[in-house]
Chain A
Amino acid sequence: EDQVTQSPEALRLQEGESSSLNCSYTVSGLRGLFWYRQDPGKGPEFLFTLYSAGEEKEKERLKATLTKKESFLHITAPKPEDSATYLCAVGTNFGNEKLTFGTGTRLTIIP
């Protein structure tokens, strides 16, 4: 069974304090790993797709990386508007073209 585990569950940072969120996965045949941002009361918003180990993607203060067992979302010099829940999901090969989601990391950036 596909599994996605995110850590930590919650993270509080001072504005400007860089850190990383972790997403570890166990799947049979990874087709893609996805990062989403979710603000309270809203639907998830797509951030990145990573397809193979060693791949990296960047967007503003966010950088996502992928290894064979995990992905990291690095946040550099965060601002209060980066506060949100960050979700990781994996897509796998066979049959149902579904995404398996982790439970997310709730990030709070303190001014």
Chain B
Amino acid sequence: EAQVTQNPRYLITVTGKKLTVTCSQNMNHEYMSWYRQDPGLGLRQIYYSMNVEVTDKGDVPEGYKVSRKEKRNFPLILESPSPNQTSLYFCASRRDRVYNEQFFGPGTRLTVL
């Protein structure tokens, strides 16, 4: 089954404790991205990657890091989480940079205390 998976689905942590949210897709997609979703603000892009070793900032990259060492994986790293990073996070992938169907993961609900 074609899918995007994220782990963990739920995470409660404390300020400053480094964490990683994993994202994996099994569709051989080139393009992957991370979004955060906050009430009243909609989905906002954090980072995106157009292929292995090619990443760039989205609209709200501050406080986040990403890497793309393999085509299928695109982890999101919070080196020193803060309470304003409490949010619902989605990973997404699509076949390539052309605007075609984008698949979203199930989401990771992060709470930073």
Residues of A participating in the B interface, judged by any CB pair closer than 8 Å: 4, 31-32, 34, 36, 41-46, 49, 87, 89, 91, 96-99, 101-104
The reply to whether A103 and B41 contact each other, CB–CB distance below 8 Å, is: yes
**Known interface pairs A97-B97, A103-B41; A44-B104 also in contact (CB < 8 Å):** yes
- In this complex, the interface size class of chain B, counting residues with CB under 8 Å from chain A, is 20 to 34
Q: A43-B104, A46-B102, A97-B97 are in contact. List 8 more A-B contacts (CB 8 A).
A: A43-B92, A46-B101, A46-B103, A96-B58, A97-B48, A99-B102, A101-B42, A101-B43
A-B contact pairs, 7 of them (CB 8 A): A42-B107, A43-B104, A43-B105, A46-B101, A49-B99, A87-B43, A97-B97
A-B residue pairs, 8 tightest by C-beta: A43-B104, A32-B99, A101-B43, A103-B42, A91-B99, A101-B42, A46-B101, A97-B97
The reply to whether B42 and A104 contact each other, CB–CB distance below 8 Å, is: yes
**Least CB separation from A6: chain B residue:** B42
